[in-house]
């Protein structure tokens, strides 16, 4: 029994170390963003808001922030719509070529982003759609729709399959049933999908960098600054990006979990 | 499911089924197929002209630097996968078998956050932490060690890959092992199986499918990442993603970059299919 307890303590410390490794870069980036040293080390320098003042005074950063906002909101709406349609089709219908149909939406995340970036860049140039903000939106909705689809599909799994038929038997048309039964039932998952796809889009840099042209998003700005040299401004922008994407992912998870709790109780 | 009356196709069904088909054909299948076609195009005076020539393929595949880069990338991605799987395992084991249901949920909740949180900034943060005068060397200095060169080495690259893959691998391993039927483990113990033997002969075989899927994802992520080898590995060795980047961005040689991309996809598909075949292969005597 004693060895068992020792083992538990060792495993506990091990898990803590893994979490420390995973969260260290995020926490240090936040600390460095308030640190006066250009090359941060131990012991830390003085507290400063210099880097924040710098980025707030930089019109490029503001423009990029606006671009990022437009891209992630538009992507979230399109990707979640596509994800919902596909999840519902998969839930409700059986049809020929369903395997390839599902592969069509689920494959993109398994292809390295650098490859998608090259393919998108070449294709958008070919069809005359490159270098625009909407090019990034389109590319991101291809990449993120599977996440929305997965979240919504899991929610539909919890729906009693007879619920839909019951609504039909009570005289509701398919469209009315969709509006009054299925969409309300999926609402938490739809919100979760919106937040998750917005987060992924907000952080994506490889594809954005290739297809954005002059319309840079925040991660693209970071990528360009980082290529130059160590510049603590990156930590300030990074802290901002971390806070937004972490908030989005937490919200996505909260909505995802809230419905699980409810369905467990019922 | 028997109560579903509609097998026929009507407007309602098509409204939900068609959007993704249109969208993915134009913006996913289109780009990928075009990239394949592009690998046969020619570049003249910095302009791409449509053609059907094998010159890009023969040029790229006959170059030593392509194959050096290819084998380096395969090797370092494989090392990354082995490291991530081994480092994650004890943590996943603890979370799956020693932690309470709610602790496990919290752990997964927390690990999902970094997986979706700016990998680029996290890598830059490592760049600062691991640098010659950085935090790690600062701490080691107090106990009279170092300074060590960690950037621009394979170690640096691997730290980046772990940052990318560890959260996902721990999550997948934990979920897989938590789903094992606990009575089978009890049974093994009661029959006198020692703890380590239980891990090797009961837990790992039972969670084989999930473990292989975790490894495949880890390999795909490491194989396709250009940030870690570029910033933390200092492009000492050119990986295939860096090769694509250089060829596209500086050389304007999109068709040759396409050749590299197709070789990468081919390799990933081969590895994924082999892995999945292994994952679902029935063991001898299993029904």
CATH classification at residue B129: 1.10.3720.10
A230 pLDDT higher than 80: no
Q: Is residue B43 part of a domain?
A: no
Q: Is residue B235 part of a domain?
A: yes
B4 pLDDT higher than 70: no
Q: Is residue B285 part of a domain?
A: no
Can you state the percent helix, strand and coil of chain A, rounding each to 5? 80, 0, 20
pLDDT given for residue B1 in this prediction: 40
Per-residue pLDDT tens for A12-57?
A: 999 999 999 999 999 999 999 998 887 777 778 888 888 999 899 9
pLDDT given for residue B255 in this prediction: 94
C-beta atoms of A22 and B257 within 8 A: no
Number of domains chain B is built from: 1
Instruction: Give Cβ neighbours of residue A134 (< 8 Å, ≥ 6 apart).
Output: A74
Residue B240 belongs to what domain range?
Answer: 63-280
How close A3 gets to chain B, by Cα (Å)?
12
How close B183 gets to chain A, by Cα (Å)?
19
Nearest to A197 by CA among A75, A70, A66: A75
Q: Is residue B163 part of a domain?
A: yes
Size of interface A-B (CB pairs under 8 A): 248
What's the rounded mean pLDDT across residues A247-252? 95
Count of beta carbons in the 10 Å neighbourhood of residue A103: 12
What's the rounded mean pLDDT across residues A179-206? 94
Per-residue pLDDT tens for B171-195?
A: 999 999 999 988 888 888 888 888 8
Q: Is residue B203 part of a domain?
A: yes
A45 or B170, higher pLDDT: B170
What's the rounded mean pLDDT across residues B265-275? 95
Residues of B in contact with A94 (CB under 8 A): 7
Q: Is residue B243 part of a domain?
A: yes
Q: Is residue B258 part of a domain?
A: yes
DSSP class per residue in B16-85: HHHHHHHHHIIIIIHHHHHHHHHTT-EEETTEEE----SHHHHHHHT-HHHHHHHHHHHHHHHHHHHHHH
Minimum mean pLDDT range among A168-172, B8-12, B14-18, B133-137: B8-12
Instruction: Give Cβ neighbours of residue B204 (< 8 Å, ≥ 6 apart).
Output: B211
Cα separation of A30 and A18, whole Å?
Answer: 19
B2 pLDDT higher than 50: no
Per-residue pLDDT tens for A93-128?
A: 988 889 999 999 999 999 999 999 999 999 999 999
- ipTM value, please give it: 0.91
Cα separation of A37 and A56, whole Å?
Answer: 19
Minimum mean pLDDT range among A42-51, A137-146, B235-244: A42-51
Contact in structure between B114 and A249 (CB atoms under 8 Å): no
- Tell me which chain B residue has its CA closest to the CA of residue A136: B27
Q: Is residue B286 part of a domain?
A: no
pLDDT given for residue B3 in this prediction: 42
Which residues, numbered 250 to 269 in chain B, qualify as contacts with chain A under a Cβ-Cβ cut-off of 8 Å? 254, 257-258, 261, 264-265, 268
C-beta atoms of B121 and A25 within 8 A: yes
Q: Percentage of chain B surpassing pLDDT 90?
A: 62
């Amino acid at each position: 029994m004693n060895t068992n307890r020792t083992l538990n303590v060792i495993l506990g410390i091990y898990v803590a170390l893994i979490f420390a490794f995973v969260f260290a870069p995020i926490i240090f980036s936040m600390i460095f963003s308030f640190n006066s040293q250009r090359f941060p080390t131990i012991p830390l320098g003085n507290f400063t808001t210099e880097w924040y003042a710098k980025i707030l005074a930089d019109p490029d950063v503001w423009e990029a922030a606006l671009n990022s906002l437009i891209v992630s909101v538009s992507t979230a709406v399109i990707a979640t719509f596509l994800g919902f349609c596909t999840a519902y089709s998969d839930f409700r219908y059986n049809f020929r070529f369903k395997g390839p149909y599902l592969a069509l939406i689920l494959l993109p995340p398994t292809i390295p982003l650098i490859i998608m970036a090259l393919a998108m860049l070449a294709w958008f140039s070919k069809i005359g759609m490159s270098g625009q903000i909407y090019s990034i939106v389109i590319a991101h909705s291809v990449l993120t729709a599977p996440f929305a689809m997965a979240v919504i599909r899991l929610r539909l799994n919890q729906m009693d399959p007879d619920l839909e038929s019951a609504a039909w038997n009570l005289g509701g048309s398919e469209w009315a049933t969709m509006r009054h039964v299925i969409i309300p039932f999926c609402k938490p998952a739809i919100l979760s999908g919106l937040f998750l796809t917005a987060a992924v889009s907000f952080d994506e840099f490889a594809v954005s960098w290739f297809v954005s042209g002059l319309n840079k998003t925040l991660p693209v700005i970071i990528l360009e600054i980082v290529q130059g040299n160590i510049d603590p401004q990156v930590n300030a922008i990074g802290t901002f990006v971390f806070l937004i994407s972490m908030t989005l992912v937490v919200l996505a998870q909260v909505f995802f979990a809230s419905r699980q709790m409810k369905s467990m109780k019922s | 499911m028997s109560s579903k009356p509609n097998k026929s196709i009507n407007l309602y069904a098509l409204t939900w089924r068609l959007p993704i088909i249109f969208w993915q054909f134009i913006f996913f299948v289109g780009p990928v197929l075009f990239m394949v076609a592009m690998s046969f195009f020619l570049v003249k005076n910095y302009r791409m002209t449509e053609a059907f020539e094998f010159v890009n393929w023969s040029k790229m595949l006959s170059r030593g630097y392509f194959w050096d880069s290819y084998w380096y990338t395969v090797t370092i991605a494989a090392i990354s996968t082995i490291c991530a799987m081994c480092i994650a395992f004890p943590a996943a084991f603890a979370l799956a078998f020693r932690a309470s249901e709610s602790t496990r949920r919290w752990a997964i909740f927390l690990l999902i956050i970094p997986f979706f949180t700016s990998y680029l900034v996290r890598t830059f943060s490592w760049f600062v932490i691991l640098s010659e005068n950085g935090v790690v060397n600062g701490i080691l200095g107090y106990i009279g060690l170092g300074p060590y060169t960690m950037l621009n080495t394979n170690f640096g690259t691997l730290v980046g890959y772990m940052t990318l893959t560890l959260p996902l691998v721990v999550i997948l391993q934990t979920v897989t092992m938590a789903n094992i039927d606990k009575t089978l483990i009890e049974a093994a113990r009661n029959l006198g199986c020692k703890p380590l033997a239980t891990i090797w002969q009961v837990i790992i075989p039972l969670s084989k499918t999930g473990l292989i899927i975790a490894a495949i994802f880890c390999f795909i992520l490491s194989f396709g990442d250009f940030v870690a080898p570029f910033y933390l590995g200092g492009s000492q060795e050119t990986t295939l993603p860096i090769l694509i980047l250089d060829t596209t961005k500086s050389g304007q040689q999109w068709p040759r970059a396409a050749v590299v991309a197709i070789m990468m996809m081919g390799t990933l598909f081969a590895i994924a299919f082999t892995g999945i075949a292994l994952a679902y292969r029935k063991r001898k005597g299993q029904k």
